[in-house]
Structure 1
Amino acid sequence: MSDGTPSAAALEFDRITVAFRSRDAEGQRYTAVADTTLRVEAGEFVSVVGPTGCGKSTLLNVAAGLLEPSAGQVRVFGEPLAGINRRAGYMFQTDALMPWRSALDNVMVGLQYRGVPDAGARAQAQAWLSRVGLGEFGDRYPHQLSGGMRKRTALAQTLVLDPDIILMDEPFSALDIQTRQLMENEVLEIWAARKKAVLFITHDLDEAIAMSDRVVVLSAGPATRPIGEFVVDLPRPRDVAEVRSQPRFIELHSRIWAVLRDEVLKGYAQQLKKAA
């Protein structure tokens, strides 16, 4: 029986601020993220949207332990994060495949670093390549794979480590729309089977709504912060193409875009100012 105490979130940003010193002679302080609080529950799929340059990837790097916040604290299942987040897997915008290693060798490398014997690592890597539809392509090198196949390999590379938290930084942005939707559905299918916590960064509002339990909107930078949070109550399982025609999807898109639009315009104006 529950004692009424709320369970610890899989990932929690508690009043996080991230500031940098510029590299110019004056060394001015630039605040990328300001006083941001955000929770991702175990088994929850949360997407973050916001204007270009607003600090979305900065938050992901903080969650991964690659960047230490200037203020505030990150907690992982209730424990303060110190150093690299060992319970998280990170899928980058550009795949991190080693060109001199085959697809199979790329997928198994993380297990090898963890000390898994080669035979066991190879078996697990092969199983995950099969899971993402590349069971017959393990001997191919990255340059021999299409963009979608490389993304599938990178996905297997992330998931073979069985992380409790999956961090995804616009992983499908470079793909054509058909391949992108196939990958989105594959991720949702795998996520539904394993129910890991996911923090997903995207510029694509349609993608965010179609995939997520919750969408968080960030303000334009500098000093970005959450300014809107929307529960996506569309039934699961979902097909990311079919769900976009549902009236509730259209309603959610309109509500979220009403908040996001002004921030996108602010971000665009700031980009023009920098370029002038």
Structure 2
Amino acid sequence: MPALEFKNVSCRFPVPGGIYTATENVSFSIGDGEFVSVVGPTGCGKSTILNAAAGLLKPADGEVLVYGKPLQGLNRRAGYMFQAESLMPWATALENVTMSLTFRGEDPKHARELGMSWLARVGLEKFPDRYPHELSGGMRKRVAMAQTLIADPDILLMDESFSALDIQTRQLMEDELLAIWQEKKKAVLFITHDLDEAIAMSDRVVVFSAGPASHPIGDFPITLDRPRNVAEIRMTPAFNECHAAIWNVLRDEVLKSYQQHRAAI
């Protein structure tokens, strides 16, 4: 049974002069423990699909299934790691990490112990009392990752979570995420603009068409050996073969999206 399944999902939004169809008849699934990335041109509805998976957006047509059951309201079995900063500025690193446990009414001592263990797992055990403004961008992303994973979600939703980081920090974060995923084997739906990142991280890469009415136009299994080092795997012939096959499908959609944006200016 898939952990997450989209069945003919269409999402529409009112805009001046009519209705905009962001996605149309989107159907694909993520198996339990599977790491799936979605790539596509800017504006192709990738984040829209992620919000539908989180239960933050109700599709106009179709349905989202979570372990075989139609999603109603928020997806309580998912953790969401946003692209933008999601830490509370008035809370310390440890308080941010344990916030979901606090809201659940967990024992404070147990929450602190678990929070410290997760800070240690992301290399921040020496900084539990630092506030977000006292941490670097990479450190804040590590706190956000621990904040998401401490709740032990069955499904991890990630929206270009590392896109704002420099390349070295980004690769470190990617390796840390893969190490945790390799241990926990959660279902992951990973949204990214970076095809290299998608291939290096994933079991499958789903390619979306240019919008409007975006939909999957390719589904590529990534058979590269695990565990992976994201910097080293990119230099292998097998990686380049995957990249060429996916880019052959994605290239025309990127050009189409670019031409549409230019025509709209």
Q: TM-score, normalised by structure 1?
A: 0.95
Paired position in structure 1 for 2:218: 228
Among 14, 21, 28, the alignment partner of 1:21 is 14
User: Any unmatched runs of 5+ in structure 1?
Assistant: 1-7
| Residues in 1 aligned to 2:199 and 2:102: alpha-carbon distance in whole angstroms | 36
SS in 1 for 2:211: coil
| Cα distance in 2 between the residues matched to 1:124 and 1:273 | 52
- The alignment status of 1:71 with 2:61, answered yes or no, reads yes
Partner in structure 2 of residue 5 of structure 1:
none
In structure 1, the residue matched to 2:140 is: 150
Provide the aligned length of Structure 1 versus Structure 2: 265
Among candidates 208, 212, 218, match of residue 218 of structure 1: 208
Shift of 1:245: 1.0
Distance 1:189 1:165 in 2: 16
- Partner Cα separation in structure 2 for residue 231 and residue 166 of structure 1: 19
For residues 171-205 of structure 1, what are the alpha-carbon distances to aligned partners after superposition, in whole Å with 9 as ceiling and x for unaligned? 00000000000000000000000000000000000
Match of 2:86 in 1: 96
Deviation of 1:270 (Å) = 1.4
SS of residue paired to 1:270: helix
Tell whether 2:27 aligns with 1:34. no
Q: Structure 2: how far apart are the matches of 1:189 and 1:79?
A: 30
Measure the CA separation in 1 of the matches of 2:104 and 2:256: 45
Residue of structure 2 aligned with 1:44, choices 12, 15, 34 = 34
Match among 66, 89, 108 for residue 98 of structure 2:
108
Identity between Structure 1 and Structure 2 (%): 63
* SS of corresponding position for 2:9: strand
What residue number does 2:113 align with? Answer: 123
Provide the C-alpha distance between the structure 2 equivalents of 1:269 and 1:77, rounded to a whole number of angstroms.
Answer: 39
What is the CA distance between 1:124 and its match in structure 2? 1.0
C-alpha distance in 2 between matches for 1:114 and 1:38? 32
Residue aligning to 1:3:
none
**1:102-251 matched pairs, under 5 angstroms:** 102-251=92-241
Deviation at 1:166, TM superposition (A): 0.1
Match 1:269 to one of 254, 259, 265: 259
Q: d(CA) in 2 for partners of 1:96 and 1:119?
A: 24
* Secondary structure of 1:34 counterpart: strand
Which of 10, 18, 22 in structure 1 is aligned with 2:3? 10
Deviations 1:50-102 (A, max 9, x none): 00011000000000000000000111001110000000000000120000000
Q: What code does the residue aligned with 2:249 have?
A: V
**What is the alpha-carbon distance in structure 1 between the residues aligned to residue 206 and residue 111 of structure 2?**
37
For 2:157, give the aligned amino acid. L
Structure 1 moving runs of 4+ over 3 Å: none
Describe the SS at the equivalent of 1:90: strand
Distance in 2 separating the partners of 1:182 and 1:127: 19
